[in-house]
Amino acid sequence: MTALHGTTAESPGAAQSLTDGDRDERRDVAGDLEIIAIEAIPFSIPYAKPLAFASGAVHVADHVLVRVHTAGGIVGTAEAPPRPFTYGETQGSIIAVVDGIFADQIIGTSALAREAIHARLHRTVGNPAAKAAIDMALWDAIGQRLGVSVTELLGGYGTGMRVSHMLGFDEPQAMVAEATRMRETYGISTFKIKVGRAPFTLDVAVCRALREAFSDEVELYVDGNRGWSPADAERAMRQMADLDLLFAEELCPADDVLGRRRHTRTSPVPVIADESATTPGEVTRELLGGSADAISIKTARTGFTTSQRILHQCEGMGVEVVMGNQIDGQIGTACSVTFGAAHEHTSRRAGELSNFLDMSDDLLAEPLTISGGVLPVRTGPGLGLVIDEDKLAHYRIDI
């Protein structure tokens, strides 16, 4: 690739214009990245250990593999994990919207024209996982064509992230045992506790059991998935004020507007907005309305492009962020760490990057590995992902 001209030693400070060669190279990049086809492939992989939480449970990863093919023979890849009980997307709806609406809107456009592509995709409301997977597949294609990793393209801050593990619903001692196993096997020392069942007979007891089991050796925070009322949230947080929690996430619905503002105001720890803050507009509404103090960023629902907008919005406002998990498989998790490790602001907190450990299998030829509590980022080019085609053939459900 020809380097663009800038200031040189021979002509310090002199403005340089593009040569014909530079222009040809740029045309080649854009041309090679012209989108010629999009595939949306449904696959289903059972969970070895299903995850249960206040708004649902996941027993099988019914995800969609999205592949963007370009004129230069590059294939950008990402994964769309639908969450029917949260956003209404399903495996079938993702395939329908990609094949029936989005493909026609972007075929013939260069992957470099990301703003134009987003403007077209966002004519359609909703469908966050479908849009996010297309966005991340485009970045993968761009990185591959340029011969650099996506994490470098995005920001290039670090080489990995500390991992936070999500503890789904179970009896208190079973959740302590799960956390112990994660500490001993993977070195993980940050845990997100799913609450939102029975605040005063079960949820508080679970949190207390975990704190007592690990003293100050672990970081703990809670996620209610809208399972408590604002009054219960306020009372439960008061009862847990001595547990040294990091955050409290989405304890009650955003539509409980005034109750949620009151609970956020009285909470002893910052309140994270997750499923209530899935667009830059919703982030503004939750933060300026006083209904949240911090934001969960999930690449599975905002891709890289919109996640970066939300990240910079939060950074500019002095608001903390956490890299969340949409119960991603390994491809989605690789995307999360690609984004999280790329930026300083997302690297401050442990990212939720371990749900794939509970799946019975996955599609990557080289599996992700967590060691010493850290998930390293793939070094590229692009996202650095190779799909095991035999496994894809085994788990895809469309042929």
Which positions are catalytic?
A: 194, 223, 249, 274, 298, 326
Kindly tell me which of 196 and 373 has the beta carbon lying closer to Mg ion.
196
- Cα gap 85→52, rounded to integer Å: 12
Q: Which is nearer to Mg ion, 83 or 378 (CB)?
A: 83
Work out which of 32, 219, 274, 362 binds Mg ion, going by CB under 5 A. 274
The answer for residues whose C-beta is within 8 angstroms of residue 345's C-beta and 6 or more apart is 311, 314, 315, 321
Compute the radius of gyration of the chain from its Cα atoms: 22
For the chain, the farthest-separated pair of C-alpha atoms sits apart, in whole angstroms, at 75
Which uninterrupted H or E stretch holds 61?
strand 56-70
Measured from the CB atom, the residue of 224 and 373 that comes closer to Mg ion is 224
Spatial CB neighbours of 132, under 8 Å, sequence gap ≥ 6: 78, 80, 299, 300, 301, 302, 303, 306
For Mg ion, which is the closer residue by CB, 223 or 286?
Answer: 223
Q: Using CB under 5 A, which of the segments 54-62, 241-249, 308-316, 343-351 binds Mg ion?
A: 241-249
Size of the site for Mg ion (CB under 5 A): 3
Question: Encoding tokens for residue 207?
Answer: 């949190």
Pick between residue 161 and residue 297 the one whose CB is nearest to Mg ion. Answer: 297
Among 223, 256, 328, 352, binds Mg ion (CB under 5 A): 223
Per CB under 5 A, the segment of 5-13, 249-257, 330-338, 391-399 that binds Mg ion is 249-257
Which of 268, 265, 287 is CA-nearest to residue 276?
287
Whole-number minimum distance, CB 274 to Mg ion, in Å?
A: 4
- If phi > 0 it is left, if psi is from -120 to 50 it is alpha, else beta; for residue 338 that is alpha
Instruction: Return the range that interacts with Mg ion (CB under 5 A); candidates 19-27, 272-280, 342-350, 357-365.
Output: 272-280
* Through-space distance between the first and last CA atoms of the chain, rounded to whole angstroms: 40
Residue number with CB closer to Mg ion (65 or 300): 300
Please name the residue that has the structure tokens 């995005």.
154
* Shortest CB 160 distance to Mg ion, Å: 23
Separation CA 108–CA 34 (nearest Å): 6
Stretch that binds Mg ion, among 56-64, 137-145, 203-211, 222-230 (CB under 5 A): 222-230
Contact letters (x/-) for Mg ion, 35-54, by CB under 5 A?
Answer: --------------------
Q: What's the min distance (Å) between Cβ of 319 and Mg ion? A: 16
Is the CB of residue 195 less than 8 Å from the CB of residue 221? no
Q: Return the range that interacts with Mg ion (CB under 5 A); candidates 38-46, 109-117, 195-203, 245-253.
A: 245-253
Contact 197, 54 (CB under 8 A): yes
State which of positions 6-35 bind Mg ion (CB under 5 A): none
Residue (of 195, 206, 207) closest to 232 by Cα position:
195
Contact map string, positions 53 to 92, toward Mg ion, x by CB under 5 A: ----------------------------------------
Contact positions vs Mg ion (CB under 5 A):
223, 249, 274
